Amino acid sequence: MCQQKKIVYGERTDAPIYIFDLDGTLVDSMPIAVKIVLDYLDECGVAYPDNIVEILMPLGFRGIAKYYAETMGVSRSPEEIFNVFEERLKKAYANDIPLKKDVKEALFALEASGARLNVLTASPHSFTDPCLQKGGVFELFENVWSSEDFGLLKSDERIYGRVAEKLNADVCDCTMVDDNVIVLKTAKSVGFKTVGVHDLYSDENELRAAADKYVYSFKEL
């Protein structure tokens, strides 16, 4: 049953609608991405809390750069910081970051069953699109969105209404699949169904509490 904040856009559809996160959900990018963004703080001599990954991941790399400059005291502009991230990560996403185990098979099975598949990630298209193309799944998705396309963070509940609107769907018919607790709680607050995906960088107990369903493997989807 839909949450109280239910927002209806257009006509309903019987086809299941999935919106997948990229990092830590579809692809195993977290070890490389986390190392790069934390190495940068180490290089700048900036200390950070134990839960820094949970704070940073919903922000996207541009958001992280802004957070570093405006909140953590890194003495460079957000654009300068992002340029460092982009230089270090572009090659990794295009060549080195793999799909997580069972993802490709599960996506093909879902697509064959008639499900509508989409991506909503905090990462920019310059990382996301080549990574999914290399993995051989880019063409399976109806939409591949960066949160930058909406001018909103994934921690902002408004983005999920916008996604539903673009899909011409009811929020209650949309399922957000993600490995981040903040994202899952936010999506759920506007009426999305939620699936938490196991990842070493996410707290399993918190994900289980935040999600309608928790999976260790994409086989369980």
**pLDDT tens track for 103-129:** 999 999 999 999 999 999 999 999 999
User: What pTM value is reported for the model?
Assistant: 0.82
User: Does residue 13 carry a pLDDT above 80?
Assistant: no
CATH class of residue range 30-95 = mainly alpha
Nearest CA among 211, 214, 217, 209 for reference residue 193 = 211
User: Does residue 88 carry a pLDDT above 80?
Assistant: yes
In the block, tokens 């008639």 appear at: 114
Identify the pLDDT of residue 6: 39
- In this structure, of 2-11, 85-94, 102-111, the range with the lowest mean pLDDT score is 2-11
User: Does residue 5 carry a pLDDT above 60?
Assistant: no
Crossing angle of helices 60-70/78-95, nearest 10°? 150
Domain boundary assignment for the chain? 17-28+97-220, 30-95
Backbone dihedral angles phi then psi of residue 34, each to the nearest 5 degrees: -65, -45
Nearest CA among 188, 16, 12 for reference residue 107 = 16
Q: Tell which CATH architecture fits domain 17-28+97-220.
A: 3-Layer(aba) Sandwich (3.40)
